[in-house]
Amino acid sequence: MWESADLKEDISAMARVTGFPASIAAILMGEGEIKRKGIHPPEDCIEGFVYHKFMDELWNREITILEERSEIA
């Protein structure tokens, strides 16, 4: 991930990559999409359809994630 500040809105890159995902997760929890209770890392509770919805919301906020998968021998 590479992110730059939003100079137009005066939002730092760090605020964008920490605040936006947290706010998206909060919305998904409020909508009942994330069902796990308690404290869990994001990779344990944002999965399946919810994962794709989460990634779409990041894209809508102009945060691009490049995913690469490879097998470890």
Q: Give residue 60's pLDDT.
A: 94
Whether the Cβ atoms of residue 58 and residue 24 lie closer than 8 Å to each other: yes
pLDDT digit string, tens, across residues 5-38: 889 989 898 988 889 999 999 999 999 999 888 8
Token pair listed for 3: 């992110």
Q: Give residue 1's pLDDT.
A: 65
- Residues whose CB falls within 8 Å of the CB of residue 2, separated by 6 or more in sequence, listed in order: none
Token pair listed for 52: 């794709």
Task: Residue 73: count other Cβ atoms within 10 Å of its Cβ.
Answer: 3
